[in-house]
């Protein structure tokens, strides 16, 4: 099978869907790999490195390719380049993608990697959200530190003592946990909060302080049941009020705040209001990792640094994994390769298996239909 890897066209997208490591594996499996000229350059993977492991470099990776691998889904004119019965594996932003009908019309089978059922143990090595969020959590702290005009660690000097930075992490998923670990390594005092009380042990194991919100026995049981089933839970009105008070106090005293909360298929939840930002010290920094999905912070703007009247910087950095494109591509490419392997049977024949729970979960268009259920 010919596998094509086009250049990413989204502004600021520096990642690439394959690396020489994964191309070598694809070629060894008997596939021909066509890479668009310069597709990996922004991620420090040059054309000659791909050629050395058996790839062919061309100006067009779509022609005659039956399988297309990308980071971001094809858009606009790119979709028109897809021949009927082509399969595309990429991140589609499926719940907000307005072009899925075009993929169906083109008779394209589209796999959206974000929809991976993360509760399946055999899917862990395909989990692009986790691999990319891990890097985003790390880099978010460095980006915030770069804007912060003070030090992270405590220093004892002849000129006096430098106090450590106080960092608050809101949302303790993969990105949040890596942000905690990174901020601690830099010497900061770290506090964290999350709607899942089970995250407390993870926060404390990394040296962070858990921002505890009082819970009724009923809420504790609801949260425990939700965690057991892999679902979120809806807190009661009193819990929301209590959490708001605790978060407001912690954020008001923080030097750096990093928000990471995302909801699949919905706008990001608003975690920090303008009134809280107004209480923060001049020179404080907030980095809103959810800015592309509407933002966790009131006043954040995608792709911009907003400086408030009280001197607080709100960073709206989109697509943070693309700022560490070499490593992000390496991890993403391995995730993609592991998924692509499921598309071939034991005789190495390409076969979309609608009975396979992973393929079924990721397939958003197939046989002329949009399969994704929205709402």
Smallest CA-to-CA distance from 118 within 319, 335, 354, 358 is with: 358
DSSP tag of 29: T
Residue 4 CA: distances (Å) to CA of 17, 33, 66, 82, 86:
10, 6, 8, 11, 10
Tokens of 14: 């520096």
Pairing type for strands 2-5 and 67-72 reads parallel
Catalytic residues: 118, 124, 127, 130, 231
Q: Taking a C-beta distance cutoff of 8 angstroms, is the pair 315, 289 a contact?
A: no
Identify the sign of the CA torsion 240, 242, 246, 248.
positive
Instruction: Give the integer Cα–Cα distance in Å for 212 and 224.
Output: 16
* Structure tokens belonging to residue 210: 């858990």
> In the Cβ-directed half-sphere of 173, how many Cα atoms lie within 13 Å?
20
Q: How far apart are CA 195 and CA 58, in angstroms?
A: 49
Pairwise CA distance, residues 238 & 244, whole Å:
10
Task: Give the three-class secondary structure for 233.
Answer: coil
Q: Extract the tokens encoding 16.
A: 């690439």
Give 155's strand partners: 162
Could you give the CA distance from residue 302 to residue 306 in angstroms, rounded to a whole number? 10
In this structure, are strands 313-315 and 256-259 parallel, antiparallel, or unpaired? Answer: unpaired
Secondary structure of 238-286 as H, E, C letters: HHHHHHHHHHHHHHHCCCEEEECCCCCCCCCCCCECHHHHCCCCCCCEE
């Amino acid at each position: 099978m010919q596998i094509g890897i086009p250049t990413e066209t989204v502004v600021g997208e520096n990642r690439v869907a394959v690396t020489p490591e994964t191309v070598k594996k694809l070629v060894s499996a008997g596939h021909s790999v066509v890479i668009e000229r310069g597709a990996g350059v922004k991620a420090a993977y040059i054309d000659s490195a791909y050629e050395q492991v058996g790839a062919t470099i061309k100006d067009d990776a779509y022609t005659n390719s039956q399988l297309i691998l990308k980071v971001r889904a094809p858009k606009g004119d790119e979709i028109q380049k897809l021949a009927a019965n082509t399969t595309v594996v990429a991140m589609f932003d499926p719940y907000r993608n307005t072009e899925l009908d075009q993929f169906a019309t083109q008779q394209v089978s589209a796999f959206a990697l974000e929809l991976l059922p993360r509760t399946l143990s055999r899917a862990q090595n395909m989990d692009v959200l986790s691999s990319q969020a891990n890097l985003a959590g790390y880099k978010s702290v460095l980006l915030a530190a770069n804007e912060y005009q003070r030090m992270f660690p405590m220093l004892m000097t002849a000129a006096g003592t430098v106090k450590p930075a106080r960092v608050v992490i809101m949302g303790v998923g993969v990105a949040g946990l890596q942000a905690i670990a990174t901020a601690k390594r830099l010497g900061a005092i770290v506090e964290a909060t999350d709607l899942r009380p089970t995250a407390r042990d993870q926060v404390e194991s990394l040296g962070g302080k858990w921002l505890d919100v009082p819970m009724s026995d009923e809420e504790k049981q609801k949260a425990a049941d939700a965690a057991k089933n892999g679902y979120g839970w809806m807190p009661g009105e009193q819990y929301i009020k209590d959490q708001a008070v605790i978060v407001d106090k912690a954020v008001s005293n923080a030097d750096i705040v990093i928000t990471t909360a995302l909801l699949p298929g919905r706008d990001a939840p608003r975690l920090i209001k303008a009134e809280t930002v107004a209480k923060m010290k001049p020179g404080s920094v907030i980095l809103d990792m959810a800015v592309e999905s509407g933002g966790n912070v009131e006043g954040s703007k995608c792709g911009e640094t907003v400086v408030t009247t009280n001197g607080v910087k709100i960073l709206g950095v989109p697509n943070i994994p693309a700022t560490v494109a070499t490593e992000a591509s390496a991890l993403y490419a391995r995730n993609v390769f592991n998924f692509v392997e499921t598309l071939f049977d034991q005789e190495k024949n390409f076969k979309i298996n609608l009975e396979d729970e992973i393929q079924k979960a990721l397939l958003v268009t197939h046989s002329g239909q949009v399969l994704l259920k929205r709402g």
